[in-house]
Amino acid sequence: MNKVVVASATMTPFTDHYDRDIRDLASEAIRDIFRKTEIERSAVDGLVIGSMASMSFTNQGNLGALIASENNLNSASFTVEAGEASGQAALRAAYSLIKSGMHETVLVLGLEKVTDIVKLPEILSVVNHVNMDSRWEADIGLTLASSWAMIAKSHMSQYGITREQIASVAVKNHYNATFNPFAQFKSKLRIETILRAPALASPLTLFDTCAAADGAAAVLLTTEEKAKSFTDQYIHVKGTGLAHGTLRIAERDRLYSIPAIKKAAKDAYEMAGISPSDIDVAEVHDSFTIAELIALEEMGIFEPGQSGPATEDGRTKKDGDRPINTSGGMKARGYPFGAAGIAQVVEIYEQLLGIAGERQVADANIGVTQALAGTGGTSVVHVFGTA
Amino acid sequence: MTKFGYVSVEDYVPLVGEFAESLVKGKIFATKCKACGKEYFPPREECICLNDEMEKIDLDTSAKLVSYTIIHVPPESHSTMAPYIIAIGEFPNGLKTMAHLVGVTSMDDLKIGRPMKLVPQTLENERIVYKFVPA
């Protein structure tokens, strides 16, 4: 069977690109891939785009045809949408296209231009209606912040973790982002700043979540055989998992756990033949601080209830024993929805090749990415390896 | 005609229309599968067992508070309402739903397990929703 590898990776800076449009961001990422990779554009026979809500944000659909034609790509092109997990879902689709033998080389582009909408409540409405049950939950004025707030309260009461431990996720991710030239926020954040910030939905504050950001990220997927013809800088895609849970949060049995993450991780680990203790570095979904803590527990990196204390103790910092979100995560690297899932792969690509500069963790051979839509609608997990 | 929801655009769905009409009369219905007996609230028109013959049943609107949050940063549709409380309540049949919790006068009303009741509330512009109130 074909071994699928990531043979090139890039991203634009993630920030409020107020003066650039969705085409411009896409082109920058795609052009950078071809500038730094010894491959002809004609060799790329597929383009899969992960984008969450380009219609709502920019009034532009069918990005596949638009972006492919504007960049002279003669490839089969289409967009994948799975809410906030769109980028990682696109990666899974591209992987299966190559694994099946249908395509040999597929460019995967994560793309989102959010700030054409300038009013935060309008951005929230889009995000809520994409990722939540529109009729029964989003329409009543529930937000993702309030959903995560209820999850945080449930997790705190179940395991006795503290508000400070939850906030320490943001402190750590901001610290990591100070070493990432493409990050939106390259500034440190103090626990006190988070706790004293304006409330979003109790107990979470403004600094428990991300800011609006735009950006694009791209990775080139191909077979190992093909990759060898033009580069020695590639990593293996070893496993993929995708699972879903109910969109309606009220339907869940337990608010403090997210079964979709556990299922996606289990499937990806089994396919890759690894266990959680083999993971050297991971990029996980941290749209809200509490999301990272729950992801680490569902992924088996820490026991239930232990990710809060571990984060507070610095174990997940870039120089800790379980480095998590060395890029700065969505929280500080920035979170242009569809682009973020591919930016996670960009980080793991650099870590496993040992080219992550000041963010480099020691002896990184197995890296994992995890994405989530809403509070558990869809989760996607991928496992990457140096061999 | 009174429509269901704060901003829903799905007025054409018969079940949603009937649900709104029922709320206007002060009645809240759930649905029950005629084949396997599974109950749904909010109501559904088809069952996960693949049967689509459902009957309407009166919902026992007493509920226990499972969780809540106070929303300070609302979406556009609720921009004039914040801060407001959204709660999850569990009904005697084990089903849970989410709704605004109004009529809270003390912290006792926000204790987990606190008895509540689901009631219809008419909004402006001929719209109607359901909300929890402390019981």
Quick check: B6 contacting A, CB < 8 Å? yes
Q: How far is A149 from chain B (nearest CA, A)?
A: 7
**Six-digit token string for A312:** 């507070």
Cβ–Cβ gap B86/A138 under 8 Å: no
Q: Using one digit for the tens of pLDDT, what is the confidence trace for A113-133?
A: 999 998 888 999 999 999 999
Quick check: B78 contacting A, CB < 8 Å? yes
The pLDDT of residue A222 is: 98
Closest CA to A3 of A82, A138, A101, A87: A101
**What CATH number is given for A4-117+213-235 in this structure?**
3.40.47.10
Q: Using one digit for the tens of pLDDT, what is the confidence trace for B31-79?
A: 999 999 999 999 999 999 999 899 999 999 999 999 999 999 898 889 8
- How many helices and strands in chain A, by DSSP H and E? 14, 11
How many alpha carbons fall within 13 Å on the CB side of residue A40? 3
Q: Which CATH class is domain A124-211+238-385?
A: alpha beta
Tell me how far apart the alpha carbons of residues A163 and A51 are, in angstroms, rounded to a whole number.
Answer: 33
The pLDDT of residue B76 is: 87
Q: How many CB pairs under 8 A join A and B?
A: 92
Q: How far is A49 from chain B (nearest CA, A)?
A: 28
Quick check: A244 contacting B, CB < 8 Å? no
Residue with tokens 């009957």, as numbered in its chain: B55
Q: How far is A354 from chain B (nearest CA, A)?
A: 42
Cβ–Cβ gap A250/B96 under 8 Å: yes
Tell me how far apart the alpha carbons of residues A107 and B24 are, in angstroms, rounded to a whole number.
Answer: 54
Residues of B in contact with A153 (CB under 8 A): 67, 69
Cβ–Cβ gap B76/A137 under 8 Å: no
Whether B96 shows a pLDDT value over 90: the answer reads yes
Whether B9 shows a pLDDT value over 80: the answer reads no
Low-confidence ranges of chain A (pLDDT < 50): none
Q: How far is A136 from chain B (nearest CA, A)?
A: 7
Residue with tokens 């018969």, as numbered in its chain: B14
Whether B11 shows a pLDDT value over 80: the answer reads no
Nearest CB among A125, A248, A249 relative to B77 is that of A125
Quick check: B5 contacting A, CB < 8 Å? yes
Q: How many structural domains is chain B composed of?
A: 1
The pLDDT of residue A30 is: 98
Nearest CB among A143, A150, A251 relative to B73 is that of A143
Range of the domain at B121: 3-134
Chain B residue nearest residue A142, CA to CA: B86
Tell me how far apart the alpha carbons of residues B52 and A42 are, in angstroms, rounded to a whole number.
Answer: 51
How many alpha carbons fall within 13 Å on the CB side of residue B42? 22
Extents of the domains making up chain A: 4-117+213-235, 124-211+238-385
Please, what is the angle between helix A163-177 and helix A289-298, to 10°? 100
Cβ–Cβ gap B6/A121 under 8 Å: no
Whether B8 shows a pLDDT value over 80: the answer reads no
ipTM score assigned to the predicted complex: 0.92
H or E element in which residue B21 lies? helix B14-24
Cβ–Cβ gap A140/B67 under 8 Å: no
Residues A351, A336: contact at Cβ < 8 Å?
A: no
Q: Which residue has the higher pLDDT, B11 or A381?
A: A381
Identify any residues that bridge with A79 across adjacent strands, giving them in sequence order.
A49
Contacts of A123 (CB under 8 A, 6+ apart): A57, A114, A117, A212
Peptide bond into B83 cis (omega under 30): yes
The pLDDT of residue A118 is: 87
The pLDDT of residue A61 is: 96
Quick check: A253 contacting B, CB < 8 Å? no
Tell me how far apart the alpha carbons of residues A276 and B102 are, in angstroms, rounded to a whole number.
Answer: 45
Q: Looking at chain A from residue 290 to 349, which residues have their Cβ under 8 Å from any Cβ of chain B?
A: none
